[in-house]
Every structure is written in C-alpha cells, then in structure tokens.
Amino acid sequence: MPVLRSAPKTRALAPEKIPLAVRDLVARAPIDDIHTHLYTPSFGPLLLWGIDELLVYHYLVAEGFRHHRLPPEKFWAMSKTEQADLLWKHLFLEHSPISESCRGVLTCLHALGLDVRKRDLAALRAHFSKWTLDRYLDKVLEISGVERLVMTNNPFDDLERPVWLRGGTRDARFEAALRLDDILMTWEKAVPRLREWGFDVGLDCSRRTLDETRRFLHEWIMRMKPLYLAVSLPPTFAFPDLKTPGSDTLRNHLLVEAILPECREHNLPFAMMIGVKKLVNPSLRLAGDSVGRADPGVVERLCAAYPDNKFLVTMLSRENQHEICIVARKFANLHVFGCWWFLNNPSIIEEMTRERFELLGLSVTPQHSDARVLDQLLYKWRHFRAILTDVLTDKYADLARTGWAVTEDDLRRDVRDLFGGAFRRFLE
C-alpha cells in the first residue's frame, strides 16, 4: 500500500516567513552546473578567465560591432587586449552597460569586491594580474556556489584531444560531456580524421561505418566517463528524415544505429541543443550564430521511438519553450534544461521558469550557465538565483494560500532538486 500520509517533520513556515526562507535557501544552495564550456586547468589555454576574456566574450563582441562599426577583419586583427579596450570604451564608457552580457561583466567584478566606480580598466587588469589560476578557480567556485560543473568535451578538438590521450588529471569538480557535433554535423570532415585514428569508417552508412563509429564512441566514453553525450542541432533537424535524403538521412543513421545504442549500453542521456543557425554572419566568427524555431515533434518522435533512451533537451527559440514543456509532460525519458544563450536574459528566464514550474513542477533543471569564461559563473548564477527566488516565493505563497504546510525541509529539498538533484536522478 503506497504511503498516503506523511505529516511534515518540521513546522510549517508562517506565510509571511516564506519569502525570507526562500531567499536565504536559494542564495546559499550549492549548484550543479550541467552545461559549460569550462575546463580544468590541466587543459591549459582552453580554460579562459580574467577581465579581458570577460570583455571579449562573443556576446559582447556581437554587441560591440553595433557601436564601433570597425570592419570585422580590422577587429580580428587586434590583440585581445586591444579588442577588450575597444569594447570597454564603446559598451561601458560611451553607453551605459545595460545589456545582460555587459551587466554580467559588472556583476562578476562586484562579486569579486572590485570597485567599478572609477571605470578604470587598467586598475581592474592590475587586480587580475595578482591571481594564480588555481587560487582564482577556487575563489570563483566558492563565491558562485558552483559545487560541480559539466564541461563540453570534443575528441576532435586539437588542443583538447592530446590532454585526454595523456590521461589529463581529473578534478572531481569538473565532469565531462562527450560532444558529437563533428560526427552529426560535419561527417564528411570527421571521416578522414576517424580513419587517421584507426577507425574504418566511410561516407556511407554501411554496417562497418556504423560499427566503427560505435567503437569510437565506446573508446571515448570509457576514456572521458561523460555524464551525457551531446550535440547542437539546427532548427531544421528532422527525425525521421525521409523527405530530404542525403546528409540528414546519414545523420539519422548515425544517431539511431551508433549513438543511441551506445547511450543505452552505458545508460547515458543524449543531450540535444536544438535551434542554432550556425554562422549567419561568418565575419563575426563565434558571435555569428543565430536562432531559428525548430520542430519539437522531432523530440516527441525520438522519445516515443526510443523509450529506453534518455534525452536531455534545451531549445534555443523562445517560441519553442511552451511546446517542449508539453512534450516533457508526455515522455518521462525527456528532461528539459536551461535558459540557453539568447534566452539567458531576465525577462525570458522568468517567463520560462514560471511556465516550466506550472507545467512540469520540479522535474526540470531550470538553468545552466553555458559559461565560456570561468568568471562568468559569478554573474550567470547570481542573476538566476534572484529570478528563481521571486518565482519560487510566488509558487510557495500559492501553496500556503491553499492551507498546504510549506516547511523549510520542503524548500531545501526542492531547491536542491532544481540545482542539479533532478538531473542526477535522471542520470540514474
């Protein structure tokens, strides 16, 4: 007989006490950041940190072009310091830095206790020069409250691959995710490299190619011990793709006959980040990607066709958010996460978080940082904690109005779920 009665072990919070309790618990809760582009220091230059990296983050690069109007080739010919100087001038000194990515830089500096009133970039640089990376890493994780984070790891990356082959030292705070964009999005370029590494693959979807691709995946899963496999997909991604034979059909075969079986064998979710239109403006380089509305039916059909696979999904278009919540209501093997990239702005984060709680309760991971620069953990999480506090306070006030006893233990358990607990259970 299921337990149908479990009176709360601790006293209910008086309704007027709920806001303070929520604010305090959300502010202090440790975070499991399930998608970042950060690396342990053993990956060397791949781990970006410090004021200049913050300023030349591709979000600010894109915004900067709208002000300085330099020809892209002139901008890219500059040193990183010169680029940072230019962006500081145009985005901070000549215009108030009210965009989310500019505000984020200032939140990082404020979290570090730095005084930005003088708007003195040279003085700020002098501060960062005093840190060693290892000490700074500990400091940023301590202040941001990030306890663990998941990297984005790509065996096709020429800087990253040798570190894994050397058996790079593990830091328990950094976990891996095996990224498959090269296989699923540029197979024709992946083939010669896989063959160079001893995998007998071809441009076709022969049994040999699919088996050898699985062998490659197996080898890197054993090496990296990833929490999940992942890919970023265009809004046009189709499944099953019967209407446009060619690369998409090949992509479907690689997914269905190599990647998903390998995920099942290792009980690993497959993460699909859907909706990126790559390089709509190539001259902006990493800042040149855009967004397109995708078909959540793709996720429905994959979840239905592969019930023994687990899918992590985040979609890039605001217009897809309500739809993917409905898909998640239909399929328990789907876990929705994050306010990704162009959605990571307060007005949209609040809308998405309310929508998700109303439709999915606490069975969702509402945010990830996507940090590319270590320091960004400071702002991406401080900004999100503030929004989550407001939304959760409203939700618990709604419960209290029904007579439901909201206890501090409930709040602590729920916040732990939202900051990684639900994700970890989904991995089990």
Q: What angle do CA 96, 97, 100 make, to 5 degrees?
A: 145
Rounded least distance, CB 101 to Zn ion, Å: 15
Query: Cα(39)–Cα(164) distance, rounded to whole angstroms?
Result: 12
Q: How far is CA 215 from CA 200, 258, 388, 416, in A?
A: 10, 9, 42, 37
- DSSP run (H or E) holding 148: strand 146-150
Does position 417 interact with Zn ion (CB under 5 A)? The reply is no
Rounded least distance, CB 260 to ligand FIX, Å: 20
Q: Which is nearer to ligand FIX, 232 or 363 (CB)?
A: 232
- What Rg, from alpha-carbon coordinates, does the chain have? 23
Interface with Zn ion in residues 41-100 (CB under 5 A): none
Does position 156 interact with ligand FIX (CB under 6 A)? The reply is no
Strand partners, 336: 313
Query: Which among Zn ion, ligand FIX, none contacts residue 241 (Cβ within 5 to 8 A by kind)?
Result: none
Rounded least distance, CB 99 to ligand FIX, Å: 14
Does position 273 interact with ligand FIX (CB under 6 A)? The reply is yes
First-to-last alpha carbon distance for the chain, in angstroms, is 25
Q: Which is nearer to Zn ion, 101 or 252 (CB)?
A: 101
Burial class (CB in 10 A: 0-12, 13-18, 19+), 118: exposed
* Residue 402 DSSP SS3: coil
Does position 32 interact with Zn ion (CB under 5 A)? The reply is no
Q: Are 365 and 422 in contact (CB under 8 A)?
A: yes
Interface with ligand FIX in residues 211-240 (CB under 6 A): 232
Binding characters for Zn ion, 359-398, by CB under 5 A (x = yes): -----------x----------------------------
Q: Which is nearer to ligand FIX, 273 or 336 (CB)?
A: 273
Binds ligand FIX (CB under 6 A): choice among 90, 368, 372, 385: 372
Q: If you ran DSSP here, which 8-state letter would residue 175 be given?
A: E
**Which residue has the CB atom at the shortest distance from ligand FIX?**
232
Evaluated on CA atoms 282, 286, 292, 296, the torsion sign reads positive
| Size of site (CB under 6 A) for ligand FIX | 8
Rounded least distance, CB 36 to ligand FIX, Å: 9
Is the bond leading into 240 cis (omega within 30 degrees of zero)? yes
Binds ligand FIX (CB under 6 A): choice among 341, 348, 354, 397: 341
Q: If you ran DSSP here, which 8-state letter would residue 11 be given?
A: P
What pairing do the DSSP bridges indicate for beta strands 290-291 and 276-277?
antiparallel
Q: Which is nearer to Zn ion, 238 or 316 (CB)?
A: 316
Q: Which is nearer to ligand FIX, 152 or 209 (CB)?
A: 152
Rounded least distance, CB 273 to Zn ion, Å: 7
Binding stretches for ligand FIX (CB under 6 A): 37, 152, 232, 273, 286, 341, 370, 372
